[in-house]
Amino acid sequence: MDAAFERAVLAQLLAIPPGQVSTYGTLAALAGYPRHARHVGKLLGNAPEGAGWPWFRVVSGSGKVARPGTPEADYQILLLEEDGVEVGPGGRVNLKRYGWPVQYFIRP
């Protein structure tokens, strides 16, 4: 396993402010591993549930929840809404508002 990669990604994951979301590719890039988006997904998928990691704050680059249709996706949507993030039909998230670190803050 690559402990350095895991540490770096986890650091970025924990850096996401509550109520905001980031993407796999962004986390990988911030961690210092560009084009390793798939590995971030694999890491989160393999991550222990009781670790307390905010894995639910990570969505795909299109702003959609990964693996749509699965119970995990529904659970993630639930957690995001609990976190104050609006999730549209199909597990869509408006990255213009909730995206991190680039959030545009289009608030009424």
Partner DNA sequence: CACTTGACGTCTT
Partner DNA sequence: TAAGACGCCAAGT
Binding residues vs DNA (CB under 7 A): 1-2, 23-26, 35-42, 44-45, 47, 55-56, 58, 60-62, 66-67, 72, 76, 90
- Give residue 10's region: left, alpha or beta (phi > 0; psi -120 to 50): alpha
Which tokens in the block code for residue 99? 């995206």
Distance CA 19, CA 63 (A): 14
Q: Going by DSSP bridges, is the β-strand pair 92-93/87-88 parallel, antiparallel, or unpaired?
A: antiparallel
Is 91 within 8 Å of 73 (Cβ atoms)? Answer: yes
Is 25 within 8 Å of 9 (Cβ atoms)? Answer: no
